[in-house]
Chain A
Amino acid sequence: MNRLAAAYKPRPMSIDEKTVRKVAKLARLALPEERVAPMAAELNGIMAWIEQLNEVDVDGVEPMTSAVEGLSLPMREDVVTDGDNPERVLKNAPKSEDGFFVVPKVVE
């Protein structure tokens, strides 16, 4: 397996620490400062391995957007089919009150 792994040697770094911080912010993941550099290295290892996709000739190829050929999304009448179950909807809420989810203050 090590030889197998060696066939996919990573190339030089391309994701810097600034990018890692930006992406973590976009993903709403708190990333402690000491993990930024190791995460950049991990992501670079993976992305470098992914770069080999650039070798593939994809000119004129339609992107694959469905795993099943010829299946179009079914339509149905725009009517309510479910609901009226506030207790069930709220059952797993970390915090709820009077049939509502209680969330942290959003507007000052």
Chain B
Amino acid sequence: MTDLTALTLAEALDGMEKKLFSSAELTNAFLDAIDKANPKLNAFVVVTADRARSQAKASDAKRAAGKAGPLEGAPLGIKDLFCTEGVRTTACSGILGEFTPTYESTVTANLFRDGALMLGKLNMDEFAMGSSNETSHFGPVVSPWRRGNDDAKLTPGGSSGGSAAAVSADLCLGATATDTGGSIRQPAAFTGTVGIKPTYGRCSRWGIVAFASSLDQAGPIAKSVEDAAMLLQSMAGHDPKDSTSLPNALPDFRAATKRSIKGMKIGVPEEYRVDGMPAEIEALWQQGIQWAKDAGAEIVPISLKHTKYALPTYYIVAPAEASSNLARYDGMRYGARVAGKDLTGTYEQTRASGFGREVQRRILIGTYVLSAGYYDAYYLRAQKVRQRIAQDFRDAFTTVDAILTPATPSASFALGEKSADPVAMYLNDIFTVTANLAGLPAIALPAATDAQGLPLGLQVIGKALDEESVFAVSAALEKAANFRAKPSKWWM
């Protein structure tokens, strides 16, 4: 039999429907693959093997009874930011201890409603704060990719590094992820996978551990644009439990991946050509532009002139919201409590020992920019610059249907290479963070490999609520790129 783990989600569902194999067989194949790979990659922090096997059996029965859901029997990985009932959820932070939710996040509940099953919880940067997975309480994820024959450990990116590594290494058919500044798209770009952050509000944030509430969005990491569309279809949808959840009906995302892009206007923003960007990234971008032209799209130069201010804006807005959201971790109602000399001392000790360094740094920045006397100078100003950035996009979208950019300013880097310099690490998100600030849908897809054999990604950004154009353009680029590179499975 062919290697079941190498199938795309669409292929696997098709294979089960044609009775070529069962969900039980598929699930066992993934559990075996996880057993072999996880000691080296550290992608999963919890493996729910028994639960997955019993869910697979139930799925097979449902399919046999003609009651298969759209994702029936598909084994997925779930980022540890999503609360999963009865399964430890820690956001990969020490402060949550052995927290085991008594409820299910809306996004995972939607996936399970449609028949998907969970293989386990995926590693990530602590509270999704990081771009290399090095801030995880459970240690970094190691990328399945290597630079040629060099065995240096590379980062799969972050914060959804476990999700990206697991999909790339064929440890699941697809995975949930979240994106606050690029946490779906940067790891997807680093690992040769597809990741989409939908319009803010498409996916309910209910039951997802909060980082920065006005920026956080869930989305899938998948093996193809079509797979990403199918997963998003199930994950998204209105949820009364999240007041920012959009009431708009969901279009057929999978159908959008089959659309022609002939006659579409695709914007290319000059400001994304940043100083110090490697020639390979520039070449990839030009190649992407050519592919879009070949598919019949019209390329339109555009200007997003506040782009350079997006990251500094983000590093006020996100820490401010995080410092407020993370105030709840006081050791009283859940998580690990560390006693101090009095109540305040207990709070201070609990938080100092439970939060990692990057999280503490961001809480302090957030507290500082919100503190008396600084609010106007920092937070209010940042929200105004954010409006400028969003306005740039609104202006651009009066003339174009979608925007094409590189996904990241570099390929994956080695673990430890950037962890000493927070600002150098933050610059990873330079091309992705704008879509979070403006609330827009954006996808990263693999387009080429660099001279060392590492994946490089392109990004397509769309209008608010227009994921369909994003899927159409990215599917056309995916077809043209015909990206077939896979990691060598050196861990086997």
* Count of chain B residues near A, Cβ 8 A: 82
Is residue A80 within 8 Å, beta carbon to beta carbon, of the partner chain?
no
Is residue A69 within 8 Å, beta carbon to beta carbon, of the partner chain?
yes
Q: Which of B347, B409, B439 contacts A28 (CB 8 A)?
A: B347
Beta-carbon contact of B360 and A4 below 8 Å? no
Residues of B within 8 A of A49 (CB): 312, 315, 423
Is residue A58 within 8 Å, beta carbon to beta carbon, of the partner chain?
yes
Residue pairs across A and B with CB atoms within 8 Å: the count is 190
Q: Which of B240, B309, B335, B387 contacts A92 (CB 8 A)?
A: B335
Q: Which of A5, A31, A51, A94 contacts B337 (CB 8 A)?
A: A94
Whole-angstrom distance from the CB of A26 to the nearest CB of chain B? 5
Beta-carbon contact of A68 and B439 below 8 Å? yes
| A67 to B329 alpha-carbon distance, docked (Å) | 26
Is residue B48 within 8 Å, beta carbon to beta carbon, of the partner chain?
no
Beta-carbon contact of B309 and A52 below 8 Å? yes
Beta-carbon contact of B383 and A64 below 8 Å? yes
Q: Which of A26, A56, A105 contacts B371 (CB 8 A)?
A: A26
Is residue B382 within 8 Å, beta carbon to beta carbon, of the partner chain?
yes
Beta-carbon contact of B335 and A28 below 8 Å? no
Is residue B380 within 8 Å, beta carbon to beta carbon, of the partner chain?
yes
Give B66-122 interface residues, CB cut-off 8 Å to A: 97, 99-100, 102-103
Is residue B151 within 8 Å, beta carbon to beta carbon, of the partner chain?
no
Given contacts A6-B276, A92-B334, contact A29 B351 (CB under 8 A): yes
Beta-carbon contact of A68 and B364 below 8 Å? no
Interface range for A: 35 or more
Is residue B279 within 8 Å, beta carbon to beta carbon, of the partner chain?
no
Chain A residue with minimal CB distance to B89? Answer: A92
Given contacts A23-B367, A45-B423, A103-B332, contact A64 B390 (CB under 8 A): yes
**Per-position contact with A for B349-367: 1 when CB-CB < 8 Å, else 0?**
1011001000011011101
Whole-angstrom distance from the CB of B250 to the nearest CB of chain A? 15
Chain B contact residues, CB within 8 Å of chain A: 97, 99-100, 102-103, 199-201, 214-215, 240, 243-244, 246-247, 274-277, 306, 308-309, 312-313, 315-316, 323, 327, 330-337, 339-340, 342-349, 351-352, 355, 360-361, 363-365, 367-368, 371, 378, 380-388, 390, 409-410, 413, 418, 421-424, 427, 430, 437-439, 464
Known A5-B424, A29-B355, A43-B361; further 5 A-B contacts with Cβ < 8 A: A8-B423, A15-B368, A23-B367, A42-B422, A50-B378
29 of the cross-chain contacts (CB-CB < 8 Å) are A1-B276, A5-B421, A5-B424, A20-B364, A26-B371, A27-B367, A28-B330, A28-B347, A29-B363, A30-B348, A46-B365, A49-B315, A54-B381, A56-B309, A58-B381, A61-B384, A61-B388, A63-B384, A66-B244, A67-B201, A67-B214, A67-B215, A67-B439, A68-B200, A68-B201, A76-B240, A91-B100, A94-B331, A104-B342
